[in-house]
Amino acid sequence: MNISFTDKQEQYIRDLVASGNYKNASEVVREAIRLHGEEQERKLAWLQSEIQKGIDSPKSEFSMEAFIDAKTKHKETA
């Protein structure tokens, strides 16, 4: 597999390896991918939770159509 990085990204990876916290660039990339996956899972779980809150919430008297009508009428009178 070939992966291309910008000069700035390559320098960042080199700096991380030079810090002694990583043995090589592959470790840096593997951790970055793992953390990215965890973040995506966290975001998806949050989104699913928020959707479920909406599904479980009581019915609202709010009407998008009425809101739009009120805003349109307000612009016409302004």
Q: Does a structural domain hold residue 29?
A: yes
How high is the pLDDT of residue 28? 98
Backbone angles phi, psi at 56, to 5 degrees: -80, -15
Question: How many domains is the chain built from?
Answer: 1
Contact 50, 39 (CB under 8 A): no
Given a cut of 70, whether residue 78 has pLDDT beyond it is no
Which residues form the domain of 53? Answer: 7-77
The mean predicted confidence, pLDDT, of the chain is 94
Q: Does a structural domain hold residue 2?
A: no
How high is the pLDDT of residue 51? 96
Contact 30, 17 (CB under 8 A): no
How high is the pLDDT of residue 17? 98
Q: Does a structural domain hold residue 1?
A: no
Given a cut of 80, whether residue 75 has pLDDT beyond it is no
DSSP code at position 22: -
Question: How do residues 17-51 score in pLDDT, each as one tens digit?
Answer: 999 999 999 999 999 999 999 999 999 999 999 99
